[in-house]
Amino acid sequence: MTTSSDNAVTAIAHTNIALIKYWGKQNADMIIPYTGSLSLTLDQFYTKTTVSFDQSLTRDNVSIDDQAVSGNSWQRVHDFLEIVRQKAGIKLNANVDSYNHVPTAAGLASSASAFAALAAAASKAANMNLDNQELSRLARRGSGSACRSIFGGFVEWQKGTEDRNSFAVPIETPNLDDIRIIALTVEKQQKPISSRQGMALSVTTSPYYPTWVKVVESDLQNIKSAIHDDDFTRFGTISELNAMRMHALTLSSNPDFLYFNGDTLDAMNEVKRLRHSGIECYYTIDAGPNVKVICQAKNVKTITETFSKLFGNEKVTVAQPGPGVKYL
């Protein structure tokens, strides 16, 4: 094992937007979900992370966007590196330098790209040379949705029952290749209730959680069928409905909580108005106030102009299917 920064490895991973949501763990330690999920990796939002193991370090050094990290954020990275060290059979501390080209903890899947990039860079720096399935399993240990960011395009996280069979797989399809996601970043501040806290609360207190598990199973099969059939209308309808059913869990938890703000509701209403006027589009929202509008390439101009007038150009980003993890 090399013991200096000569072993530095840099990886880039892109965020993904869940179209069939992951919301709730049946095993919190191993991050095994109650349901499968399906996402689209996006080209516009990504994390770039460099990791090196160094015998001169007395602890892990972690910086995000050139700022030294401490507290819970440091602990989460350190705990993940402990998993890498245990699997690689090494005891060296690491330098981690990460740059987020996506707002952190604002419901834009920053933890997905962050832990996918960290898993890729750290495992390779530790000479593990994992294949993508193994890398997906490893990334899952940092953040559940990170297992999907190992792959590009449409990706399904197969829930599994334990560590060895809970991982993501790419959906090989040439269909819906004109899909676009218009991200409306109406709020860049960190959300007050993290996804982890929110999931745990919904699982333990929402009376509707058992029904959610059944609904997701059906939604997953139906959306995969829509992708296969190149049926954008069915695809968008299922995505929007699944998102609203997820947020119904937050409203029915005890205490109840909500990730939306006023701009979120305005964006949702505008999507419906556009749809009723003949511009086909749908919305999806993760654990945060920011809205993603699902549309086809032919309608991007009209939709972006509409939301630029509503929120300003700087809050509207057009994304398309993005790549899987790569090394620099």
List, by residue range, all CATH 3.30.230.10 domains of the chain: 5-174
pLDDT at residue 84 tops 70: yes
Distance, in Å, from the CA atom of 254 to the CA atom of 275, rounded to the nearest integer, reads 34
* CATH for the 179-319 domain, from 3.40.30.10, 3.40.50.720, 3.40.50.300, 3.30.70.890: 3.30.70.890
Residues 149-162 pLDDT 10s: 999 999 999 999 99
51's CB contacts (< 8 A; 6+ apart) are 8, 9, 94, 95, 96, 118, 121, 122, 125
Buried b (16+ CB within 10 A) or exposed e, 279-290: bebbbbbbbbbb
Residue 65 identity = D
What pLDDT is stored for residue 109 in this prediction? 56
Q: Which two tokens stand for residue 294?
A: 């699902």
Provide the token pair at 242. 């699944």
Q: What is the pLDDT of residue 188?
A: 76
Sequence ranges of the chain with CATH classification 3.30.70.890? 179-319
What is the C-alpha to C-alpha distance for residues 111 and 102, in angstroms, rounded to an integer? 10
| pLDDT top residue among 44 and 137 | 137
Per-residue pLDDT of 312-326, as tens digits, reads 999 999 999 999 999
What integer pLDDT is reported at residue 193 of this predicted model?
A: 87
**Backbone CA torsion sign across 135, 32, 41, 264:** negative
Q: Using an 8 Å Cβ cutoff, are 290 and 188 in contact?
A: no
pLDDT at 190: 73
- Quickly name the fold that domain 5-174 has: Ribosomal Protein S5; domain 2 (3.30.230)
Dihedral sign for Cα atoms in the order 291, 297, 300, 302: negative
Cα gap 27→34, rounded to integer Å: 8
